[in-house]
Structure 1
Amino acid sequence: MYSLDDIILMFFCYAVIGWAWETIYCSLKAKHFVYRGFLFGPYCPVYGFAVTTVVVCTAKVTDNLVLLFLGGMVVSTVFEYLAAVFLENIFHLKLWDYSMLKGNIKGRIAPEISLFWGFAVVVITRFVQVYVLLFVKALEQRFGHGAATLVVLILATDTTFTVLNMQKFRAHALLLESRITDERARLKQEFETAWSKRPYLKLGPESQLKQLELYLDSWHETILRKLNESEKKFTWNERRMLKSFPKLRFIEAPDFEEIKERLLKK
């Protein structure tokens, strides 16, 4: 049986391991350093919750690879789904989107990702857990309850700062959304007025279509020029989130989603 201190410290270890895995994988994929993780610190709680839950619940069946695989797949998928629902309902935010994968459910989870979770948990339980447990016991032997207490304090503090920061980020995104929407409406009115006054109808259908396409293609640049230069810049963490999570989008701000990469360069 695992003690509460064991569980807290194992959770933290797997959260850090999960962060390291995601950071390395995404950095290699993007060909530049990508600091993953929703929280400020170098840990991903979803990995900590998922793997620790499976390790604790399958402690008596570690020799049964089928149960380990199924347990890892189901538990991890449930945690990932709940994490997505939490972000969408509390912050109106999506950090990942599996919509392009077959069998996905609302882009939150997908069979392909669940299979990865299953294999990952088997590998961790059979080959990594023994070293994590040795590390946990060494910490407890040296620092007693202090180690687990420190982990709780760190995570509680980080979570508080992250929640406050994300609320500000959402407000910033909605402000930009409002500015972009207003500017698009102004540009649309301006174009419709110009279209009605100028002799575009003398042009052939292809020329008219090309004129319209050029206008639509240039609205990003026009809005970027019109946005007030004194507009509040993205904070370090906002920039990190936008760069580290390419699929990040605020559900309430579709126009911001379309132009966010250009705004990052301001």
Structure 2
Amino acid sequence: MYYFYLFFIYSIIGWVIEMFYTSYMNKKIVNRGFLLGPYCPIYGTGAMAIIFTLKGYENNLITLFVMSLILCSIIEYITSYLMEKLFNARWWDYTNFKYHINGRVCLLNSILFGLLGILLIKFMHPFINNYVALINNNIIGYILILIFITDIIISFSIISRLRFTVDAIKKDYTGEITEKIRHVICEKSKVLKRLIDAFPNTRILKTKRSNK
């Protein structure tokens, strides 16, 4: 349960980072994240990967930076690939950035991940770990797990609805969510509107149809 608490806390911190970053870039408040709750599991996963792998490198900043950069970039790439396969959609695309790999990861974000890795190991984790180690109530953990799993189920159902909604509106779409389609989606559901606002550059990929 100790590790889940850490994962959950870092997922919340990641959500806060994403919210401030995207809100600053978009000049408006953006509730970033796939899930309904205030957490981004990709950050929790990245934080735990860094902690497990690099906990003994507190005094080697170069190793911390490079390995955090690599680990988090791999996690982001795999997440992008799996989400695309699961929902037939590209949720983020870095092809407009100068240095990227298949539009799934880019150098700028990877550098930021490296810096966050240093911040995590040198400052955040020692502080947070002292308080998490004091938690001896597993009931809270089980409740959080139940909430988290329920959120995943509901959110994945909502994301699936987005694809079905686009299909119903325009069978021969080009892959881009046009302003017209975006307006109809937002009118249909406030939850789908939040998802579109969080990922404005979402591309619904065409379904391959077999010729019979």
TM tier, smaller? 0.7 to 0.9
Structure number with higher helix proportion? 1
Within 1, Cα distance between the matches of 2:98 and 2:172?
A: 37
Q: 1:1-266 maps to which residues of 2 (within 5 A)?
A: 5-138=1-134, 140-141=135-136, 143=137, 145-178=138-171, 233-252=187-206
Within 1, Cα distance between the matches of 2:67 and 2:103?
A: 22
When residues 174 and 125 of structure 1 are mapped into structure 2, their CA distance, relative to the original with a 3 A threshold, is same
Within 2, Cα distance between the matches of 1:109 and 1:72?
A: 14
| Matched letter for residue 161 of structure 1 | I
Within 1, Cα distance between the matches of 2:24 and 2:41?
A: 22
Within 2, Cα distance between the matches of 1:83 and 1:155?
A: 18
Max radius of gyration: which structure?
1
Aligned partner of residue 35 in structure 1, secondary structure: coil
| Matched letter for residue 154 of structure 1 | I
How many residue pairs get aligned? The number is 202
After TM superposition, which residue ranges in structure 1, 4 or more long, deviate above 3 angstroms? Answer: 230-233
Within 1, Cα distance between the matches of 2:185 and 2:11?
A: 36
> 2:90 touches 2:203 (CA, 8 Å); kept in 1?
yes
> 1:101 touches 1:110 (CA, 8 Å); kept in 2?
yes
Aligned partner of residue 42 in structure 1, secondary structure: coil
| Matched letter for residue 197 of structure 2 | K
When residues 153 and 66 of structure 1 are mapped into structure 2, their CA distance, relative to the original with a 3 A threshold, is same
Within 1, Cα distance between the matches of 2:52 and 2:188?
A: 41
TM-score calculated relative to the size of structure 1: 0.70
Alpha-carbon deviation of 1:52? 1.1
> 2:88 touches 2:204 (CA, 8 Å); kept in 1?
yes
* Unpaired runs of at least 5, structure 1: 182-219, 254-266
Aligned partner of residue 85 in structure 1, secondary structure: helix
| Matched letter for residue 81 of structure 1 | Y
- Give the fraction of aligned pairs with identical amino acids, expressed as a percent: 26
Aligned to 1:197: none
